[in-house]
């Protein structure tokens, strides 16, 4: 199964379009590292208090470049950027709460 099959399977299992979009990989414009918005938010942004406050950016885990969510291939416009930032922040906050983590470094 290719990556499109993976995303189709997620949608068929009831994952929201926002969750599917947040998991699609794209390349860092500086170093070429491939990652998803969710990976960036949970790995490179881990511990940053802004990551749980609807931050409009994600960070490349390899070169630390901060990229506006609206500049990723799956997001179109400022309103969609805000919606995706809210969605990702809710997931990260819930995960941190479930794990008993404060979300700070």
Quick: pLDDT tens for 15-42: 888 888 898 999 999 999 999 999 998 8
Rounded to two decimals, what is the model's pTM? 0.78
Each residue's pLDDT tens digit, 38-94: 999 888 888 787 877 889 999 999 999 999 999 998 898 889 999 999 988 888 888
C-alpha to C-alpha distances, 51 to 44, 59, 82, nearest whole angstrom: 10, 10, 13
């Amino acid at each position: 199964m290719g990556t499109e099959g993976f995303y189709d399977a997620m949608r068929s299992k009831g994952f929201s379009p926002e969750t599917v979009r947040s998991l699609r990989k794209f390349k860092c414009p500086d170093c070429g590292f491939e990652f998803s918005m969710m990976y960036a938010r949970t790995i490179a942004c881990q511990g940053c208090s802004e990551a749980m406050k609807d931050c409009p950016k994600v960070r490349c885990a390899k070169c630390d470049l901060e990229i506006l969510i609206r500049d990723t291939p799956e997001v179109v416009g400022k309103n969609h950027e805000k919606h995706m930032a809210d969605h990702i922040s809710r997931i990260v906050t819930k995960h941190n709460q479930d794990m008993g983590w404060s979300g700070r470094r």
